[in-house]
């Protein structure tokens, strides 16, 4: 049996070999990514990239659990972290504990992630003290899209920089084992990484972060539009487009299925006496 990477292993990577993280939403993809990644995040971005929602606000606990179960079946080695969706943890530490423990029981995953604005420090420490490893998430917080008025990178003013640094420090002090730093100016990401004692995992941040994460569907090139910080490492959209087009043409010309794809059995028909 392969030993799975733990929250303590990830925490120990501060300032060391960069942590490799990607999102995963289904079992076969998780099995492939497991060969390359330290952390697989079942992120609530699945609402947008799998379910076609306009933001992550509509994602439910049930969706996170269902995809979390699939990823846990596919990945043996990587640490699996599951996002708590909007509305499942903000009300109180008690609400967060009830829903986080449910996610862990029903999926077998070892940790959850919350978007940890400075207000969330109390919840982070409540969960960690009670046995739930927490990954924080600061900077551009997609669940706050309706307050922010859009998905905008942070670090445009001295006040904004101070606020984001405060979110990071509060999250780390509260006991998070790692912090996702999303959509912040490079200098600010560097400053946060130097200031906190736990690993920072950057997305639209800086190569000096202690690790990096991208949304897998974005980096595989499934979409025409992606945020500036995404680098496309594949061209999945054109691969799928070509395969579906070739299939459609062959069905229409009756060249699929061909000899190799049909069963040439000679059935004995019921009542056949020959």
- The contact set with Na ion (CB under 5 A) reads 43-44, 83
Task: State which of positions 125-164 bind ligand KIV (CB under 6 A).
Answer: 137
* 111 contributes a contact to ligand KIV by CB under 6 A: no
d(CA 41, CA 209): 17
DSSP helix/strand/coil, 224:
coil
Of 127, 215, 219, 220, the one binding ligand KIV (CB under 6 A) is: 215
Question: In the stretch 77-96, what mask flags binding to ligand KIV with x, by CB under 6 A?
Answer: ------x-------------
Residue pair 197/220 in contact (Cβ under 8 Å)? The answer is no
- Read off the tokens for 73: 């079946």
* 29 contributes a contact to ligand KIV by CB under 6 A: no
The active-site residue out of 169, 182, 186, 250 is: 182
Please state whether the peptide bond connecting residue 209 to the residue before it is cis, i.e. omega within 30 degrees of 0.
no
Tell me which residue of 134, 125, 236 sits closest to 174, measured CA to CA: 125
182 is an active site residue: yes
DSSP helix/strand/coil, 176:
coil
DSSP 124-162: HHHHHHTT--EEEEEES-GGGHHHHTS---B-SSHHHHH
User: Of the two residues 196 and 213, which places its CB atom closer to Na ion in the complex?
Assistant: 213
% helix, strand, coil for the chain, step of 5: 40, 15, 45
Does 235 appear as a known binding residue? Answer: no
Of 213, 219, 220, 222, the one binding ligand KIV (CB under 6 A) is: 213
d(CA 72, CA 16): 26
User: Of the two residues 27 and 49, which places its CB atom closer to Na ion in the complex?
Assistant: 49
Does 207 appear as a known binding residue? Answer: no
User: Of the two residues 67 and 97, which places its CB atom closer to ligand KIV in the complex?
Assistant: 67
Does 45 appear as a known binding residue? Answer: yes
Does 44 appear as a known binding residue? Answer: yes
* 169 contributes a contact to ligand KIV by CB under 6 A: no
User: Of the two residues 23 and 125, which places its CB atom closer to ligand KIV in the complex?
Assistant: 23
Tell me which residue of 226, 171, 227 sits closest to 200, measured CA to CA: 171
Known catalytic residues are 182
- Binding positions for 3-methyl-2-oxobutanoate: 44-45, 83, 113
Binding residue numbers for Mg(2+):
44, 83, 115
Q: Which residues bind ligand KIV (CB under 6 A)?
A: 23, 41, 43-45, 83, 137, 180, 182, 203, 213, 215
């Amino acid at each position: 049996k392969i030993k799975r990477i733990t929250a303590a292993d990830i925490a120990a990577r501060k300032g060391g070999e960069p942590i490799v993280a990607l999102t995963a939403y289904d079992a076969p993809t998780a099995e492939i990514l497991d060969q390359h990644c330290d952390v697989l995040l079942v992120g609530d971005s699945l609402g947008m990239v799998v379910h076609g929602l306009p933001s992550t606000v509509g994602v439910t606990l049930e969706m996170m659990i269902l995809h979390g179960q699939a990823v846990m079946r596919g990945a043996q080695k990587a640490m699996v972290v599951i996002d708590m969706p909007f509305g499942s943890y903000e009300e109180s530490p008690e609400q967060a504990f009830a829903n986080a423990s449910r996610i862990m029981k029903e999926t077998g995953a070892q940790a959850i992630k919350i978007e940890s604005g400075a207000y969330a420090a109390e919840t982070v420490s409540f969960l960690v003290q009670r046995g739930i490893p927490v990954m924080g998430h600061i900077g551009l917080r997609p669940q706050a899209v309706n307050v922010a008025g859009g998905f905008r990178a942070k670090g445009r003013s001295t006040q904004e920089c101070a606020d984001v640094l405060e979110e990071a420090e509060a999250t780390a002090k509260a006991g998070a084992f790692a912090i996702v730093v999303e959509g912040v100016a490079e200098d600010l990401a560097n400053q946060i990484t130097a200031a906190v004692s736990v690993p920072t995992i950057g997305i639209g941040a800086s190569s000096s972060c202690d690790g990096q994460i991208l949304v897998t569907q974005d980096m595989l090139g499934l979409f025409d539009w992606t945020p500036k910080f995404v680098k496309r490492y594949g061209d999945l959209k054109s691969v799928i487009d070509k395969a579906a087009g070739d299939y459609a043409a062959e069905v229409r010309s009756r060249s699929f299925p061909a000899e190799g794809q049909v069963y040439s059995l000679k059935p004995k028909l019921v009542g056949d006496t020959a």
